[in-house]
Structure 1
Amino acid sequence: MTAVVRRIIHIDMDAFYASVEQRDNPALKGQPVAVGRCQERAVVAAASYEARKFGVRSAMPSVQAQRKCPHLIFVPPRFDVYRAVSAQIHAIFARYTPLIQPLSLDEAYLDVTHPLLPRPSATAIAEEIRAAILRETGLTASAGVSYNKFLAKLASDYRKPNGQFVIPPNRGEDFVASLPVNAFHGVGPATARRMHTLGIHTGADLRRFSLDILRQHFGKAAAFYYGIARGKDDRPVEPNRPRKSLGKEVTFEQDLRTPAELHAALRELASKVWAGCQKRNLTGRTITLKLRYTDFDQCTRSLSLADPVQDQEILAEMACRLLAPLLPVRAPVRLLGITLSALLNPQDQEAATQLSLLS
C-alpha cells in the first residue's frame, strides 16, 4: 500500500505588524516603520521592509534601530488590532482545512492533504489563500508548499515578500543540501555554533554524520537533525497543540542592583505570570528564571518541583530561590523573566494526585 504524501502549506504574513500600520495610515506607506517605542530600553517589535533595508530588525534595541535609520518612524503597537486581523486570516484558512497549527499571530501551518474544497493541488490552495488575504485584509502573505512542515517553512522564506515557493518530494533532499544550518528552523544560534565546531555548515555536511554520532553531541534533538538533513520531517500539523509554557519578562527603565530591588521585581513578575495561569486555568511544575545584565550577557536557571505550583507566593518564592546563587549580582540587571512550564490543567493535577496517593 502506497503511503499518502502529505501536502503542507506554511503561511507567513509579510512584516505583519508594520504592514497593518501602513495599511491603516496611508502616510506610512513606503516609509521605514518600526512598531515599538523610541525609548532607551525599548525594542523593535516589527520593522517594515523599507526599514529592513537599513538593517533594522525585530528585537533590536530602539536606540540602535534609530542609529541605523535616522528617519525611522516609530509607531506604538496595537495588539488588539493585530489579533483581530489574525482572526480574519485564520477564518480564511478554515475554509480549506480544519488542520491549522498557529505559530503566532502572523504564521501558521496548514495540512491540506484532504482539503475541504476540491482543488487540484496544494499550490493552487496556497495561491487562493494569499489572494483572499490580500482581498479581504489588504495585506500580503508569503507561502511555502511541501510534503512536510520543515520544508514548507523553509519554502515560505524563499520568495518573501508576497511570494510562493514549492519543494516537491523529489527535490527535498537536494534543496536542504546546499542550505546553511543556521537557516534551518529548529537550529538556533547556539546549536549552529556547536555544529560549526564539528565542521557542519550545510545540510550536506549534516548528512555525513550518523545518528549515533549526532546523539553524542545533540541528545534527543539528534533524530530531528538526522531527518531534516535528508528532507524528512514526520511531525504532524497539530491544530490543538497544548501550550507548553507561560512566561513574562520585563526590561527595566533603570537597572536593578540590590537584592531588594530584584526580589521586588520578581514578585511583580510572578503576580503577572500567575494571573495568566489563572486566566487559562493552568499551573505547572517547572520554574525558569531569566536574567540579562547590562552587558547583555544572559543566564537562565530552572527548578522542577514534585508538585505543581499552587499559588503566586510559591511561584515568587521559587523564583527568588533561583536568583539566590547569583547574588550579589556581578553587574547591574536590565531584564528579568519568569516562565512556568510542564503545564497542567486541574484535571491533570487531580489525576496526578490520585496516582501519587495510590502509589
Structure 2
Amino acid sequence: MRAAPTILHLDMDAFYASAEQAAKPSLRGKPVVVGGLGPRGVVATASYEARRFGVHSAMPMAQARRLAPNAAYLVPRFQLYRSVSDQVMELLARLSPLVEPLSLDEAFVDLEAGGTADDAASALEIGEQLRTAIRAVTGLTGSVGLAGSKMLAKIASEEAKPNGLLLIEPGTERALLAPMSVRILPGVGPATADHLRRAGMTTVDDLVEAGEDELVRLLGKAHGGSLHRMAFGHDDRPVVAERDAKSVSVEDTFDADLHDRVRIRTEVERLADRCVQRLRGAGRSGRTVVLKVRRYDFSTLTRSETLRGPTDDPTVVREAAARLLEAVDTTGGVRLLGVGVTGLADYTQEDLFAQAAGEQAATEEAAEDGAPAGDDTSGPPGDLGAEDRETAVQRAARRWPAGHDVRHDTYGHGWVQGSGVGRVTVRFEEPESAPGRVRTFRIDDPELRTADPLPLVRDPADYSSWPASLPNSRSEPAGSDRESRP
C-alpha cells in the first residue's frame, strides 16, 4: 500500500449513452438507451435520465422498453466510442507512462510514475484538472477516484459517480470498507456473494470478523486469502501499461431462433466479416478461429480451428468458421452465433490460402453498403410475399440500424431514428448544430447512404501542452464535485 493516494482510476459516465447525446443535439437531457434492440437484446449503457426509470446495464431490452417506453433506443456505434476513447487515453498518457486501460471508458493511471503527483494535494489537483480537460476536449464527463491502491481507487470512482472526484486518504481504508457490501471487492461475483451470504457474511466487516482461516475453508486458499487481505484494504497490484487483448470476437442474439441451415451459415459468414473488420481496426491478425453457437435450449457449443499462421484475411476466417459450423448440430434452432479470433499477432502470414478475388470484391462492396454480401434491400417489402417481406424488414434493420449515421445528397448528415415497412426515418443534425428536422425515405433511396460518425467537435488547442498549461492553483473550481474522504 502506498503512503500517498497516487493511483488514479477514471470511469467515464454512462459512456456510450453520453457520447450519443453529445453527437445528437435532439437527445441531450433525454433518456437514451444503447444496446441490442431485438426482443432478446440487452442494455449496454443507459443515460442517467433513463436510469431514473430503473433502466440499467445488462437488463433485457424488452424490460427497459416497459420501464422507459419514451426513451431513445440506439444500436452501439463503436467507431465513435473508440475515437472518443482515444482522445481520453491520450490525455491520460500525458500524466504517466503507466496507464492501464480496462475498457474504452475506464483506466488506471500511476501518477507517481509520471511525476505528476506525490501527495494528496497534488493528486487532487491533477484529478480535477483531468476532469476539466476531458470535458473541454470531448464534451463528456468522467468520475475520478484517487487512492493508494487500484482496488480503492476504483471504489472511489464508483462512489464519486456521476461527474465527481473522491480521494481516499491512506490509513482510512478499514473504516471506509467496513459497512460496504462484499460485492464491492474484486473477485466477488454473484455466486461468491451468495456463498458468503449463506455463511452469514454480507459486509466487508463480516469478512474481517470471520478471519482468514474461515474464508480459506469456504473459498479455498488463493481466493480466501486474497479476499481477507482486500477486506483490510490491502492491494499491491501494480498499474500495468499496455494490457494486450487476447482475442477479438463478435456475436449476435437473434429475435427468433434460426432454423434454416443456409441462413445460419450466412449469419456466420457475416459475423466472420465483422470480426475481421474489428481485427484489422486493432492492427492485429490471429491464428485460431472460434465459433460460438447457443442453441434453442440455451446450451452453448464452441468449436475452434488453428490455422498454419496468423491472418486477417476475411475469406480465410469466413471459410474456417463455415467449416466449424459443419460440425455443429443446429437441429431445434439457434438463438446466438458468434465468431472470434484468438492467438493474436502484430503481423499477417501472406498467401495462407488462395483467395477468391471475385468473392473478396463482393464482400468489400457489401461492407461499404453496410449490408452482408448477397443482400438485396431494393424494392418495398409490400411487393413481396410474407416470408420475403419479413426478411426484407430484417435486412433494412441491419442496413439502417437505429442511431447509426447516414448522409443524404440533399439534406446532409443525419442519423437513423428507425426503419421498417420499406422506409427509413432520419433526423438531420450534427454535434454542433441545433436539434434537426426529421424526414422519411424509401430504404432504397439513391440519395441516401450510410456514413461514418462525425467527430465530437471540440477545440483541444488550449490542452495541447496539458497538464503544464493549466494553472497550478489548488483553489476549489466553481461547481466542483471534489471530495476527500475519510
Q: Which amino acid letter does the alignment assign opposite residue 64 of structure 1?
A: Q
Alpha-carbon spacing, 1:101–1:316, altered in 2? closer, same or farther (3 Å): farther
Q: What is the deviation of 1:226?
A: 3.1
Superposition pairs of residues 306-325 of structure 1, within 5 angstroms: 312=317, 317=323, 323=328
- Aligned residue type for 2:20: E
In 2, Cα distance between the equivalents of 1:37 and 1:231?
Answer: 38
- The separation in 2 between residues aligned to 1:147 and 1:338, in whole angstroms, is 40
Is residue 95 from structure 1 mapped to residue 89 from structure 2 by the alignment? no
Which amino acid counterpart does residue 134 of structure 1 have in structure 2?
R
Of structures 1 and 2, the larger Rg is shown by 2
1:283 aligned to 277, 280, 287, which one? 287
Amino acid aligned to 2:24? N
Aligned residue type for 2:176: F
Deviation per CA, 1:274-328, whole angstroms, max 9, x where unpaired?
A: 665575123359x5846265xxx7555567999988764556555765x55xx65
Note the C-alpha offset of 1:25: 3.1
1:74 lines up with 2:85 in the alignment: no
Matching of residues 205-354 of structure 1 within 5 Å:
205-207=206-208, 208-210=210-212, 213-214=215-216, 217=219, 220-257=222-259, 265-266=267-268, 269=271, 272-273=274-275, 280-284=284-288, 289=292, 291=294, 293=296, 298-300=298-300, 312=317, 317=323, 323=328, 328=331, 332-339=333-340, 341=342, 343-345=343-345
What is the letter of the counterpart of residue 188 of structure 2?
A: V
Cross-structure match for 1:140? 141
Question: Deviation of residue 53 (structure 1)?
Answer: 0.6
- Which amino acid in the other structure matches residue 46 of structure 1? T
Cα gap change, 1:167/1:49 in structure 2, threshold over 3 Å: closer, same or farther?
same
- In structure 1, C-alpha distance between the alignment counterparts of 2:124 and 2:201, rounded to whole Å: 33
Closer, same or farther: CA 58–308 of 1 in aligned 2, 3 Å: farther
Long gaps (5+) in structure 2? 311-315, 350-486
Which amino acid counterpart does residue 181 of structure 1 have in structure 2?
V
- 1:141-220 to structure 2, matched below 5 A, reads 141-207=142-208, 208-210=210-212, 213-214=215-216, 217=219, 220=222
Indicate the residue corresponding to 1:123 in structure 2. 124
CA 1:100/1:336 → structure 2, altered by over 3 Å: closer, same or farther?
Answer: same
AA at the equivalent of 2:103: S
For 1:257 and 1:219, locate their aligned partners in 2 and report how far apart those are by CA, in whole Å. Answer: 47
Measure how far apart 1:90 and its partner are. 1.7
Between the aligned partners of 1:21 and 1:195, the Cα distance in structure 2 is 40
> 1: CA distance between counterparts of 2:138 and 2:213?
46
Taking a change above 3 Å as real, the CA distance of residues 77 and 275 of structure 1, as seen in their structure-2 partners, is closer
Counterpart position of 2:18: 19
Would you say 1:57 and 2:59 are equivalent positions? no
Counterpart position of 1:108: 107
Secondary structure of the residue that 1:114 maps to in structure 2? Answer: helix
Separation of aligned partners in 2, 1:288 and 1:226: 39
Unaligned runs of 5+ in 1: 350-359
Q: Is the 8 A contact 2:7 2:109 kept in 1?
A: yes
Normalised by the length of structure 2, the TM-score is 0.59
Give the Cα separation in 2 of the matches to 1:318 and 1:198: 45
Q: Matches of 1:213 and 1:317 in 2, distance apart?
A: 47
Judging by fraction of residues, say which structure has more helix: 1
Seen in structure 2, the aligned counterparts of structure 1 residues 263 and 160 have a Cα distance that, compared at 3 Å, is same
CA distance in 2, matches of 1:154, 1:267: 42
Letter in structure 2 aligned against 1:131: T
Q: Helix, strand or coil: the match of 2:43?
A: coil
Question: Secondary structure of 2:242's partner?
Answer: coil
- 1:203 Cα offset (Å): 1.5
Q: TM-score with structure 1 length normalisation?
A: 0.78
CA distance in 2 between counterparts of 1:320 and 1:218 reads: 41
Deviation at 1:209, TM superposition (A): 4.4
Give RMSD over aligned pairs. Answer: 3.6
- In structure 2, the residue corresponding to 1:122 is in which secondary structure? helix
Helix, strand or coil at the partner of 2:177: helix
The worse-fitting range, judged by mean Cα deviation, of 84-93 and 31-40 is: 31-40
Q: What is the match of residue 355 of structure 1?
A: none
Say which is worse superposed, 184-193 or 252-261, in terms of deviation.
252-261
Equivalent residue pairs, number: 337
For 1:44-85, what per-residue CA distance to the aligned partner results, in whole angstroms no more than 9, with x for missing partners? Answer: 332110100101123333332121012112244333222222
3-state SS, counterpart of residue 194 of structure 1? helix
| Residue pair 1:153, 1:185 contacting (<8 A) in 2 also | no
More divergent stretch after superposition (258-267 vs 20-29): 258-267
Whether contact under 8 Å (1:47, 1:56) holds in the other structure is: yes
